[in-house]
């Protein structure tokens, strides 16, 4: 029996491989990194543990919750959420609350209240038009515009509204509230009882989830190839017959691709779509004292600060740092190729900016580690839907090919959503339906 090949050992690839192997299917998994997990990896340096930015699990789907808990077992740790936005030297709760609005500088507050009365229309598909219609021109100009340009290097008029919707829906856990607007921020404040959602986090780092999934998958007979350097695809008219992995050829029955869809296009000699992924340099910083900071993560929109987001591993699980010490992960999105080749060139600026916001002093820093994460997040530019449609049409003739996951589907999602779609895909494969890329994409992914 020929195996099913899964490319990419992130959350989606691991879930798919585990479920296929559990059903007695021969599975091979390829991963370019030496450890599984993708964005759901952890890095340990002695007694310090860091994730790839802030990660935790939450889902309203009972089946997905059971799956996550079954993998985590006793490592599951329940936490609340606390995140903020740093704006003009002050911290504001994120998602915004009415109390946060009234702490804004007077001119910004008056402008926001005026926007609440004279709400703009949402004509057009741009991020700018959409956010302006929800939050008003004042808050768009004072925060959202600058942050989006800093984070993904595109002007908000060149980003699709889906980029805003995805970000807001990821922030708002109670789906009944949809995404925030100025008006429903005030309504939420008047609710008799606040939403008190708990999240799951694996003890000793999010990467434990990925490690446990890999272990279970191997126990079910699957085979992993880690640190893969080169992949080639042997294709026919409507099938992919084999995959060449670092010079070794494997005949396959089915290919499930969770790596970037742009890479798949190149390997199949198809026109490469105009789709963009963010590259992130994570500076994992060990500190020799505990910080007076209770947030799990903070967003920084000021373009004069080099980092876009900082997360604090101790507030996900105390065991992520040694007793009496602390740590932080400063995320820097990178476009410049020279900076990507050597992110250490901004080390002095990074320390200076941390001191500028009075978070740490240079003397507090015990050590700094650098982890580069290429193709971390898809970016929804104005043309992304048409580009995604074109590549999915080009891929659809390959009857034994299916994309999945965040980068394979070009889908800015949460881990629970990747797991949900992965389980649906496995069910379809087992039933022999083998959905093509195009049909799968048409069904709303």
- Of the candidates 108, 180, 98, the one whose C-alpha atom is nearest the C-alpha of residue 138 is 108
Q: Is residue 169 domain-resident?
A: yes
270 and 286 part of one domain? no
237 CB contacts (<8 Å, ≥6 apart)? 397
Q: Are residues 247 and 328 in the same domain?
A: no
What's the whole-model pTM score?
A: 0.91
Q: Are 70 and 265 in contact (CB under 8 A)?
A: no
Q: 389 and 268 share a domain?
A: yes
Is residue 178 located within the same domain as residue 242?
no
Is the domain of 156 the same as that of 216? no
Q: Are residues 34 and 113 in the same domain?
A: no
Domain closes at, from 328, 358, 379: 379
Tally of structural domains, the chain: 3
- Do 270 and 399 have their domain in common? yes
- We report the CATH number of the domain holding residue 33 as 3.50.50.60
Q: What is the mean pLDDT of the chain?
A: 89
DSSP 46: T
Evaluate whether residue 230 is within a structural domain. yes
Instruction: Determine, yes or no, domain membership for 310.
Output: yes
- Nearest partner of 278 among 356, 165, 168, 167, judged by Cα: 167
Residue 254 Cα distances to 214, 243, 268, 392, 429, angstroms: 20, 10, 15, 17, 9
Same domain, 42 and 90: no
User: Considering 332, 348, 379, which residue would you say is the last residue of a domain?
Assistant: 379
Note whether 2 and 202 are within 8 A (CB): no
Within-domain flag for 115 = yes
CATH number assigned to the domain comprising residue 334: 3.90.660.20
Domain membership flag for residue 363: yes
Using the 3D structure, point to which of 188, 220, 250 is the last residue of a domain: 188
Residue 200 belongs to a domain? no
> Do residues 114 and 238 both lie within one domain?
no
At 161, list the tokens.
């509204």
Distance CA 33, CA 24 (A): 26
Please tell me whether residues 220 and 362 are part of one structural domain.
Answer: no
Q: Give, for all 445 residues of the chain, the pLDDT tens digit.
A: 899 999 999 999 999 999 999 999 999 999 999 999 999 999 999 999 999 999 999 998 999 999 999 999 999 999 998 999 998 888 888 776 666 667 788 888 888 878 877 776 767 899 999 888 888 888 888 888 998 999 999 999 999 999 888 876 555 544 444 545 656 655 555 454 555 678 999 999 999 999 999 999 999 999 999 999 999 999 999 999 999 999 999 999 999 999 999 999 999 999 999 999 999 999 999 999 999 999 999 999 999 999 999 999 999 999 999 999 999 999 999 999 999 999 999 999 999 999 999 999 999 999 999 999 999 999 999 999 999 999 999 999 999 999 999 999 999 989 999 999 999 999 888 877 555 443 443 344 4
Please check whether residues 287 and 358 belong to one and the same domain. Answer: yes
Structural domain range at position 112: 83-188
State the CATH number of the domain containing residue 149.
1.10.3110
With CA atoms as reference, report the closest residue to 6 among 179, 171, 238, 225: 225
């Amino acid at each position: 029996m020929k195996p099913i090949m899964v490319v990419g050992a992130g959350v989606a690839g691991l879930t798919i491989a585990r479920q296929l192997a559990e059903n007695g299917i021969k599975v091979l998994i390829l991963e370019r990194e030496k450890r599984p997990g993708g964005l759901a990896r952890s890095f340990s340096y002695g007694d310090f543990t860091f994730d790839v930015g802030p990660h935790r699990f939450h889902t309203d789907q009972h089946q997905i919750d059971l799956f996550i808990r079954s993998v985590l077992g006793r490592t599951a740790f329940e936490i609340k959420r606390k995140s903020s936005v740093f704006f003009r030297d002050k911290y504001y709760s994120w998602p915004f609350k009415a109390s946060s609005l009234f702490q804004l500088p007077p001119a910004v507050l008056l402008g926001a209240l005026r926007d609440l009365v004279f709400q703009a229309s949402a004509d057009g598909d741009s991020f700018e038009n959409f956010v302006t219609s929800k939050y008003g021109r004042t808050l768009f100009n004072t925060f959202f515009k600058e942050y989006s340009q800093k984070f993904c290097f595109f002007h908000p008029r060149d980003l699709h509204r889906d980029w805003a919707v995805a970000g807001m829906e990821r922030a708002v856990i109670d789906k009944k509230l949809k995404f925030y607007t100025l008006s429903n921020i005030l309504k939420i404040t008047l609710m008799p009882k606040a939403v008190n959602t708990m999240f799951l986090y694996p003890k000793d780092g999010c990467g434990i989830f990925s490690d446990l999934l890999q272990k279970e998958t191997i126990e079910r007979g699957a085979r992993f190839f880690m640190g893969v350097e080169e992949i080639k695809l042997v294709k026919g008219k409507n099938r992919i017959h084999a995959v060449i992995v670092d010079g070794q050829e494997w005949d396959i029955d089915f290919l499930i691709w969770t790596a970037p869809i742009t890479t798949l296009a190149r390997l199949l000699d198809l026109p490469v779509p105009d789709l963009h992924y963010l590259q992130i340099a994570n500076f994992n910083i060990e500190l020799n004292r505990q910080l007076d900071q209770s947030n799990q993560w903070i967003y920084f929109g000021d373009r004069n600060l080099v980092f876009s987001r900082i997360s604090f591993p101790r507030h996900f699980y105390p065991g992520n740092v040694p007793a009496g010490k602390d740590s932080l992960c400063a995320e820097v999105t990178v476009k410049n190729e020279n900076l990507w080749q050597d992110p250490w060139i901004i080390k002095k600026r990074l320390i200076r900016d941390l001191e500028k916001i009075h978070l740490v002093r240079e003397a507090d820093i015990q050590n700094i580690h650098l982890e580069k994460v290429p193709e971390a997040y898809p970016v929804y530019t104005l043309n992304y839907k048409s580009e995604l449609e074109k590549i999915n049409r080009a891929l659809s003739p390959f009857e034994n090919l299916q994309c999945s996951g965040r980068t394979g589907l070009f889908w800015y999602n949460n881990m629970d959503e990747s797991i949900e779609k992965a389980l649906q895909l496995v069910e379809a494969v087992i039933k022999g339906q083998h959905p093509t890329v195009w049909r799968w994409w048409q069904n709303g992914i």
